[in-house]
Each structure stands twice: as structure tokens, then as C-alpha cells.
Amino acid sequence: MRAIIDLLFGRHPREGGDPGAPVATMPERLDSRLRGNDGRFRFGSLGKATLGLTIALLLTTPAAAFTPQEPAMLRDQVVYGLIPPVSQRMPAEPLIVDPTAKGRDLGRSGGWIRTFITQRRNSRVAVLYGYARLVGYNGKRELVPDILKDVTVVDGRDFTLTLRAGHRWSDGAPFTSDDIRYWWEDIANNPMLSPSGPPRFMLVDGKPPQVSFPDAVTARFRWEEPNPYFLPALAAARPPFIYRPAHYLKRFHARYTGEAELSPLIAKYKVRNWAALHNARDDMFRMENPDEPTLQPWMAMSKGTGSHLLFQRNPYYHRFDTRGMQLPYADGLDVTVMAGGLIPAQVATGKADLQAEGLTFSQVPVLVAGEGGGNYRTLLWPEGKAAEIALYPNLNYNDPVWRGLLRDARFRRALSMGIDRRIINRSLFFGLARESGVDVLPGSPLYKPERTGVWTGYDPERAAALLDQIGLKRKRGEAYRDLPDGRPLEVIVESSGEKPEVADALQIIAETWRDIGVRLLVRTVDRDVLRNRVYAGQTMMAVWGGWDNGVPDPDSSPEELAPMTQENFSWPKWGQYYQTSGSAGEAIDMPIPQELMDFARRWRRTTDETERRALWSAMLDIHADQIFAIGVVSKTPQPIAVSNRLRNVPDKGLWLWDPGAYLGIYRPDEFYFADARPADPEPAGLHRGGE
């Protein structure tokens, strides 16, 4: 096996640049010149006044030499008058990127990227890989304008969004501030479409912003207090899409379309009312509706089937390289729905160009063995979550006896010290993972080495002593302890069963917990069922990943560390209470979680980076001491299979959902095929012939 690991590292020449290098757009190259001691133009610190870029300055240098080039795939459509030439399709002020500044090649246009997904609903892959956002993260995980030309922020509470003049939707209709107005007035504030009102990231102390639209390219949001959640939400892996194609959706909205026109559409799509019709046709994230226009680099095609989805290049995409070639380089995404267990074999036979979904570290030997015949390479990117495997004692569990025990920090500490993380790492990950609790990773500026090892070292004697102290006695001759009410001490851990490494880790944990008198039982359920059971307080303990963002900075939201969301399996009902303003869930009734909530609220109200750093540090210290989630390992390797024909894919990166959208932050619209042929209109031509 050591030979396999050796084979996986250091044997492939780099074809992409350093993933940590900044994306070399003109705004970012001007960033360092425009950022001064007064903190102006600093997207990474949303609390300080921010000076937006002027597009005239942005394009002064390249404009004279910039000649837009027509992607080969679209030339016939231009010739036959189906779409205008690229010079008329592009925004007046496009976003110009320079791949060479980060060690990449200026690519070739053409080809379809083949990939597999495990469920139809994962058609979201097009929006993740596309990663076109109003503002987005660059390679340094700094927020910069993308779809927007500019963002101006004053005191962390006054945001002016400036669109690119001449920007168009994928169907050629103008993209203007009216599309943001439509979302705000007709979706977010329409009780039929948004019964709970505007989303929480749009509220500060329960109050919405003042919103205005001075002209066709400007939208302004002003809150009374700072709103540090606003821009990160726009850049998220799953963005809120605070804009919608109004020209398309108005036909399904009762404010703009009469009942006589809506009724046949409601009958056609078999929905109960106009709101359900509107929701069915409005699918910006999964892109299940090919008729809905998009701003992503690839748009859904109606030629797909239930198990085969096609996403073809958007003729009106706003990004160009320095030569003038319109991105994306690849003509499209060719996506096949397949059971996860079958995907590694498909990859090994060369039927994927870019694949991560459905691949786990246990399959690395199979992937490596197939590289020669499949003409691909296997990359290993570390997971960017705060932990890849973590156990979540549910402090809101419905059983009152168990609830009291799970809320006892001594019990959580004992369970943590009863885990031999070294065995798990060596047995399952060949020692390549990091043995730790749930904590920020060393790459984060908030990381403190002294937190490592707090209650996470393997110490069964100390763990047993804590259990004795609690009063969990073990009868003479019995392997396991009993609860105070006489029931056996059986910890039931529920898992989605999607990763074999998790099942194997739980088996090892069961063996070491046995030594301290705790019996571990595993129940496997579908991930949606698991979530719902946790939210309802029916799950005693769940196994999941750690906090989504393992590399936060002081300006990152700490809401995952506080009872602010039901998605944190440690306290789902407290999260529900906060998310619903008290209409669901339970109020916090423990002092330390309440303290975390108070820290998170203080973080939101301050714009001082020093204070934010101190608040983050205090919250992380509390988690290290209280073990609200029991981390096992982090930075586990995620295999990514990349065709040898596909270039500009970085060899090194961080596999992270948010911020980053997995591969999205590395800009797949800049990936290209070295042997791309011009004008390959269908994926069956170049890639699926002979299969």
C-alpha cells in the first residue's frame, strides 16, 4: 500500500497554478494599490468602509488591445443570425481574467466535460462548477466583484451594488436592477412565495433594509446596523439569488399575469396555485428548468433525460480572458446520474473527465490502478471542513434522562477521550488525515495549536474515571455500564451510511468505547430522514462532518459555533427557535450555549477586526473545552479524477463546500481540453463516440 501512496504524490507535473494564488482579475490586481491604511476597498473586512472600483480604471490598460473572440461552437449560430456576434453579446464592461498570472494556460475553446452525479437533484453541479456570483471568493478566499462591476460598502451597513452595463441573461434579455427589484418586491416580500418574509441574512435585529434602485445598473441596501452576512451569502456555494429573470418569471406571477392566463398553466404543471407554479418554474440552483435564463457559464438544455443532463455554454457569459476569448473554455457539462457504487469503475475506464462525487479515499487503489487505461490522474485534496468525521450529541434529545446525560460536559469529554484517533487515521487514511476534535484547521488565521489535544487525546483510564464520577456504574462482570434509571448505557449513533470510512471508524470507536463501558449501536438511515429525525429531537447522536468552513478568518460568520441554525446537530431545536424568531423549537436553557449566542451577536454588531478576532477565539476555546461535537479526524484526502486531456486543473487545492463551492473557487470555466476540436456541438461527437 505504501507503493500506492508513493505513486499518488509527486509524480505528476503541475498543470495548474498554485490554488492559493489570487485569481488575476483586473479588480484584484488593483486591490493592493487601492487598499490603504484607512481600510477602504477591503472586501475581506466587511465592517470597514469600502471603496468600489471604477470600471474606467479597470479597463484602461486592456481595452485598447482587447478584441473579443467568438467561441467556435457559436460561430454557425452567429452566421445564421440566431444570436448576435460576441462583440454585441458581451457586457460593455466585461470581467477580464488572466489565467497566466496564476500559472495557468490561455485555453482552447471546445469539448464537453463529462462527470457523474449520484442523484438527479445534484444537477446543482452546474452552479457549483460555474460559480458565477454577484461577488465571489478568489483563490485567497477574499470577496471580489464577479457578476457585479462594483460593490461599495459604508460602515458595514450600506451596500451599493453596481451591475455591468449591457450584461444579458442567457436568452439575450437585459440583466438590470429590475431583476433585483423583482426578487425583493415580488418574491422575498410576497407572502405567497415567501410566507416567512425575507430570508434571515436580509434582516438585522429582525428589521429589513431600506432598498432603492436609482437606475438600471444600481441597487442599494441600507440597514440601521452592520450586516456582515450579506456579501458572504451572495458568494455562497448555494447563493440566495437576490436577482431573478423578471422577464421570464412574470408570466407565472399573479401580480403581472391574469387568472385566465395562469389557470391553464396551473393545470398543465399540475400544481395547486400560481405560487406553486412560480416555484416550480423558478429553479436557479438546480437548473431543472431549461427554460429559465441564467447568468452561469453553462445553461441547462432540454435535450437531457432523467439520467442524462446537458449544460451548454451561455452565449452571453460575462467573463473573457486577456486574449478576448469568451469563457467558459469548455462547451458544456455532460452529466450522467449513476449509483455511487458504480462511479469508480466508470472513472477507471476513462468515462469521466472531472470526477469527485461518489469517490472516497477507500477507492484510491482502484482509481490508481485504472489511471493508465483510463487516461486520467488522481488528485488528493484535503477536506476543508472543521472535521471530516464528527459525533454530535443531541442536547435537545427528547428522552429526558439521556438529554441530561448528553448535556453533561464530563460525559462528552469521556466519550471523546475514549476514541483512539491514531488507529482510525492509520487504519483508514494511511496516516494522511489529521487527528483532532472539531476545530479550525492550521490554515486558518484563527488557529491556535494549544487547542489541539484538549479532551481529544486517547485516555481510557481518565474517561472511565469521568463516567464513574457521573454515577454511571458498571456491575461486576458486566461489559457495559447502566444509566441511573437502570437502562443499559447504549449510545445510538445514526449515520447516513454514504461513506464506508465512516462505518469503519464507528466500528473502531465501538471497540474502544467498550473498554470504558459504553456500548455503541449504529443505525443507518437516508440523509434526509437523518436530518429530520435530528431536527425533531428523535436522534440521540448523529455522525456528520464538522463545521462547513474549517479555514475562517475574523470576518467569517461564527454562526456555526452558536445555536443559530438547526443544521448544527448539537442543538437543532435551539437553532429552530432562533431561525423562526421563537415560533418553533425551544429557547436556550443552558448558560454556555447562551454565552456562545451572545458572542455571535456581539460579532455581528462590531466592525472592529480586533474585537471580532477576540470573539472568535473565545468561542473556539469554549468548543475545545465543552466538546459540543466530538471530532475524530480532519483534512482527510478527497480523491478527484482528472482527465489527462483536461488542463488548468490545479494539482493542489482544498475540498470545501463553503466558502468555495468545492471546485467552483478554482474556476472550472478556465479548465480546457488540450485536444479540443472546434465546433463540436453535441457531447456525443467528441466524447461519447464508440462508448
In a domain, 250, yes or no: no
Ordered strands of the 150-154 beta sheet:
150-154, 158-162, 218-222, 210-215
pLDDT at 70 over 80: yes
Same domain? 345 vs 456? no
Chain segment 338-381, per-residue pLDDT in tens: 998 899 999 999 999 999 999 999 999 999 999 999 999 999 99
Spatial contact of 641 and 378, defined as CB atoms under 8 Å apart = yes
| Residue 558 pLDDT | 95
In a domain, 669, yes or no: yes
53-67, 480-494, 516-530, 588-602: least confident range: 53-67
Cα separation, 460 vs 474, whole angstroms: 15
Q: What are phi and psi of 356, to 5 degrees?
A: -130, -40
| Residue 59 pLDDT | 36
State which residues form the domain around 601. 389-634
In a domain, 94, yes or no: no
Q: Is the dihedral of CA 535, 536, 537, 543 positive or negative?
A: negative
51-55, 434-438, 472-476, range with greatest mean pLDDT:
434-438
In a domain, 141, yes or no: yes
Spatial contact of 373 and 348, defined as CB atoms under 8 Å apart = yes
140 pLDDT tier (thresholds 50, 70, 90):
confident
CA angle 334, 294, 650 (to 5 degrees): 50
| Residue 306 pLDDT | 79
19-28, 224-233, 247-256, 653-662: least confident range: 19-28
Mean pLDDT of 273-291: 95
Q: Using a pLDDT cut of 90, give the percent of the chain over it.
A: 83
Mean pLDDT of 45-70: 48
Q: Look up the CATH number of the domain holding residue 362.
A: 3.40.190.10
Cell of 236: 455562497
Provide the 3-class DSSP secondary structure of residue 587: coil
Q: Look up the CATH number of the domain holding residue 596.
A: 3.10.105.10
How would you write 350-379 as a 3-class SS string?
CCCCEECCCCCHHHHHHHHHCHHHHCEEEE
Same domain? 460 vs 403? yes
| Residue 16 pLDDT | 38
Total domains in the chain come to: 2
In a domain, 48, yes or no: no
33 pLDDT tier (thresholds 50, 70, 90):
very low
pLDDT at 7 over 70: no
pLDDT at 622 over 80: yes
Mean pLDDT of 497-510: 94
In a domain, 16, yes or no: no
93 pLDDT tier (thresholds 50, 70, 90):
very high
261 pLDDT tier (thresholds 50, 70, 90):
very high
pLDDT at 24 over 80: no
Same domain? 351 vs 437? no
In a domain, 53, yes or no: no
Same domain? 365 vs 441? no
Chain segment 515-524, per-residue pLDDT in tens: 999 999 999 9
Cα separation, 49 vs 602, whole angstroms: 19
Q: Using a pLDDT cut of 70, give the percent of the chain over it.
A: 88
Same domain? 354 vs 453? no
Mean confidence (pLDDT) of the chain: 89
Cell of 590: 443552558
Same domain? 574 vs 446? yes
pLDDT at 1 over 50: no
* Angstrom distances, CA of residue 440 to CA of 227, 303, 385, 561: 23, 44, 8, 11
Same domain? 645 vs 630? no
609-626 and 409-417 helices, crossing angle to 10° = 80
Cα separation, 172 vs 199, whole angstroms: 29
591-605 and 609-626 helices, crossing angle to 10° = 160
Mean pLDDT of 114-130: 94
Provide the 3-class DSSP secondary structure of residue 100: helix
Same domain? 206 vs 333? yes
* Angstrom distances, CA of residue 356 to CA of 344, 353, 598, 639, 640: 10, 10, 39, 6, 5
Mean pLDDT of 579-603: 95
Same domain? 289 vs 362? yes
Q: Is the dihedral of CA 663, 316, 94, 80 positive or negative?
A: positive
Ordered strands of the 376-382 beta sheet:
354-355, 637-643, 376-382
Mean pLDDT of 552-562: 94
Same domain? 340 vs 425? no
Same domain? 399 vs 365? no
Residues in Cβ contact with 49 at an 8 Å cutoff, skipping those fewer than 6 apart: 38, 39, 40, 153, 154, 155
Chain segment 188-211, per-residue pLDDT in tens: 999 999 998 999 999 998 899 999
Mean pLDDT of 627-653: 97
pLDDT at 28 over 60: no
Cα separation, 273 vs 195, whole angstroms: 15
| Residue 477 pLDDT | 83
Same domain? 558 vs 657? no
Cα separation, 563 vs 350, whole angstroms: 45
The residue ranges of DSSP E strands in 499-629, in sequence order, are 519-524, 541-544
In a domain, 86, yes or no: no
